[in-house]
Structure 1
Amino acid sequence: MTEELLDQALVEEATKKSGLIWVRGSGAPMLQAKGHEVPSRALWHVWHDGAACLVGDGPGEQPLPGLVDGGDAVVTVRSKDKGGRLVSWAAKVVELTPGSQEWEAAVAELKGKRLNAPDGEAMPGRWARECRVLRLEPSGATSELPDGSLAAPPLPTPATTRRPIPAALPRLLMKKRKRR
Structure 2
Amino acid sequence: MTSELLGQALVEEATKKSGLIWVRGPAGPARALWHVWHDGAACLVGDGPGEQPLPALTAGADAEVTVRSKDKGGRLVSWTARVVEPAPGSPAWEAAVAELKGKRLNAPDGEAMTERWARECRVLRLEPTGARSPLPDGSLAQAPLPSPATTRQPAPAALPRLLLKRRGRGGGRP
Task: Decide whether aligned partners of structure 1 residues 170 and 49 sit closer, same or farther in structure 2, where only a CA change above 3 A counts.
Answer: closer
Match of 1:169 among 153, 158, 162: 158
Deviation of the 1:165 alpha carbon: 3.2
Residue 121 to residue 172, structure 1, CA distance change in 2 (3 Å):
same
Give the C-alpha shift of residue 81 in structure 1: 1.4
Q: Amino acid of the residue matched to residue 4 of structure 1?
A: E
| Aligned partner of residue 100 in structure 2, secondary structure | helix
Contact in 2 for aligned 1:24/1:40 (Cα 8 Å):
yes
Q: Secondary structure at the match of 1:111?
A: helix
- 1:99 matches 2:89: yes
The answer to whether 1:65 aligns with 2:49 is no
Aligned to 2:136: 146
- Residue in 2 aligned with 1:12? 12
RMSD: 1.9
Partner of 2:172: none
The answer for unaligned runs of 5 or more in structure 2 is 170-174
Residue 171 and residue 43 in structure 1: after superposition, are their counterparts in 2 closer, same or farther (change >3 A)? closer
Render the CA deviation track for 1:124-173: whole Å, top value 9, x for unaligned. Answer: 1000000000000001221100011111000000111112334x437855
Runs of 4+ in 1 over 3 A off after TM superposition: 168-177
2: distance between equivalents of 1:105 and 1:175?
A: 52
* Contact 1:19 1:44 survives alignment (8 Å): yes
Query: Does residue 81 of structure 1 match 2:39?
Result: no
SS of match in other structure, 1:11: helix
State the aligned residue count: 168
The one-letter amino acid paired with 1:123 is: M
Q: Distance in 1 between matches of 2:2 and 2:163?
A: 68
Q: TM-score, with normalisation over the residues of structure 2?
A: 0.90
Q: Are 1:74 and 1:88, in contact at CA under 8 Å, matched by a contact in 2?
A: yes
Q: How far, CA to CA, are the matches of 1:67 and 1:142 in structure 2?
A: 19
2:66 and 2:21 map into 1 onto residues whose CA distance is 6
- Aligned AA (1:65): P
Counterpart of 1:160? 150
Cα 1:39–1:173 change in 2 (3 A) is same
